[in-house]
């Protein structure tokens, strides 16, 4: 039967969606429920995705903002974004059984921060104010030893007390391009500034940004599946926009307003590191109801990263 639907080309970015840190964090909550039984408390959204959080709630997870809301005697998981040192310390003082789902790549930045401060350096931390990862990283060092740099203007303006004893570190989910600009300013102003050995922006963040750039070059609009509080997802929207396309952050298929696609013949789709693949399929299926969809996956680098589970849960 001839179809009346208008054709729509879909370019689906790869890699997209879950990274190794998110996979690990969700598995930790699931295994904790299996091992200890429900309820298992989780401090902060395990990852910034409502679908993931709701699925875990259905299995017996209870999400709270602060440790004070966790009753005595129940296990608690710390989210993938990391926590200030005071949080596990408080949990220990209360005798709580806690499991740390902080991504190992965030923990690596925590250890770098500690070491730099031990060696007498003041840290300029490039990140976004109020984000839980930034709060967690600031909480690794004594107050006053780290200064937040959010923008190029901040990098131009910062006046460290001892400019020869400074270092910089970054949040893991920043824009690769913006961060390079900020670091260039810092290195020009403070030639002896110490930087991280590898990259603090993680492999998943940079791979997803490269992949969305690739599809954005070939389409008129891009949908990024992710949450407004998901830093890496919001960065994907910005990266697509910089390539000159219209980009929309959507939580899931039901957020789509088909009028956004008026005049669009090729639409790009990607997903942030905390957005499950089922939501990508749901979006494609939803578009298929309205359009004669032609789907193409645009494959970039292959990811093979897998992180070990915390000791104790491995055998579960």
Binding interface with ligand 2E4 (CB under 6 A): 21-22, 47-48, 80-81, 103, 106, 133, 172-173, 230-233, 272-274
Contact region with ligand SF4 (CB under 6 A), list: 198-206, 219-227, 235-243, 251-259: 198-206
Residues whose CB is less than 8 angstroms from the CB of residue 210 and which lie 6 or more positions away in sequence, other chains included: 176, 300, 301
Residue 225, interface with ligand SF4 (CB under 6 A)?
no
Distance in Å, CB of 203 to ligand SF4, minimum: 7
What are the φ/ψ torsions at residue 186 (nearest 5 degrees)?
Answer: -65, -40
Residues of this chain, 148-177, that bind ligand SF4 according to CB under 6 A: 172-173
Binding string to ligand SF4 for residues 249 to 278, with x set by CB under 6 A, is what? ------------------------x-----
Cα distance between the two ends of the chain = 53
CA dist 75 and 40 (Å) reads 5
Residue in the block written with tokens 């929309």:
248
Residue 306: exposure state from Cβ atoms within 10 A (0-12, 13-18, ≥19)? exposed
The residue from 30, 92, 114, 133 that is catalytic is 133
Nearer to ligand SF4, 231 or 266 (CB): 231
Distance in Å, CB of 151 to ligand SF4, minimum: 22
CA dist 132 and 82 (Å) reads 7
Contact region with ligand SF4 (CB under 6 A), list: 7-15, 38-46, 59-67, 201-209: 201-209
Residue 22, interface with ligand SF4 (CB under 6 A)?
yes
Partners of 248 in the beta sheet? 223
Q: Which does 20 bind (CB under 5 to 8 A by kind): ligand SF4, ligand 2E4, none?
A: ligand SF4
**For residue 141, what are its two tokens?**
């060092």
Q: Are 166 and 194 in contact (CB under 8 A)?
A: yes
Residue 106, interface with ligand SF4 (CB under 6 A)?
yes
Q: Are 154 and 178 in contact (CB under 8 A)?
A: no
Residue 234, interface with ligand SF4 (CB under 6 A)?
no
CA dist 267 and 275 (Å) reads 19
187 given a catalytic annotation: no
Nearer to ligand 2E4, 10 or 149 (CB): 149
Q: How many CB atoms lie within 10 A of CB 184?
A: 12
User: Which whole-number Å values give the CA distances from 29 to 36, 41, 53, 109, 312, in the listed order?
Assistant: 10, 9, 10, 23, 13
Contact region with ligand SF4 (CB under 6 A), list: 182-190, 200-208, 211-219, 289-297: 200-208
CA dist 236 and 175 (Å) reads 8
Residue 49, interface with ligand SF4 (CB under 6 A)?
no
Nearer to ligand SF4, 71 or 198 (CB): 198
Q: Give the interface with ligand SF4 as residue ranges (CB under 6 A).
A: 19-22, 80, 103, 105-106, 172-173, 202, 204-205, 232, 273
The residues assigned a catalytic role are 133
């Amino acid at each position: 039967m001839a179809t009346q639907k208008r054709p729509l080309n879909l370019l689906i970015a790869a890699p997209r969606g879950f990274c190794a840190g998110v996979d690990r964090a969700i598995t930790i909550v699931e295994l904790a429920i299996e091992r200890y039984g429900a309820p298992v408390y989780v401090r902060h959204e395990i990852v910034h995705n409502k679908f993931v959080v709701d699925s875990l709630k259905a299995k017996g997870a209870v999400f709270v903002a602060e440790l004070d809301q966790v009753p005595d005697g129940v296990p608690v998981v710390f989210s993938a974004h990391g926590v200030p040192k005071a949080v596990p310390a408080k949990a220990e003082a209360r005798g709580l059984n806690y499991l740390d789902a902080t991504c190992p790549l965030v923990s690596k930045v925590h250890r770098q921060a500690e070491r730099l401060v031990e060696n007498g350096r003041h840290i300029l931390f490039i990140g976004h104010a109020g984000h839980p990862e930034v709060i967690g990283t600031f909480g690794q060092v004594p107050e006053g030893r780290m200064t937040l740099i959010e923008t190029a203007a901040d990098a131009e303006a910062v006046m460290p007390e001892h400019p020869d004893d400074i270092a910089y570190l970054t949040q893991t989910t920043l824009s690769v391009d913006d961060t390079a600009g900020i670091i260039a300013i810092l290195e020009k102003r403070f030639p002896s500034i110490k930087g991280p050995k590898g990259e603090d922006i993680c492999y998943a963040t940079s791979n997803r940004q490269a992949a969305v750039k690739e599809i954005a070059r070939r389409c008129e609009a891009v949908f990024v599946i992710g949450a407004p509080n998901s830093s890496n997802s919001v960065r994907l929207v910005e990266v697509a926009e910089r390539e000159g396309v219209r980009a929309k952050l959507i939580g899931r298929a039901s957020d789509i307003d088909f009028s956004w696609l008026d005049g669009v013949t090729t639409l790009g789709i990607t997903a942030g590191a905390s957005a499950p693949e089922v939501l990508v399929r749901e979006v494609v299926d939803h578009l298929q109801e309205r359009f004669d969809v032609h789907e193409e996956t645009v494959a970039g680098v292959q990811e093979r990263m897998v992180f070990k589970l915390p000791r104790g849960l491995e055998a579960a």
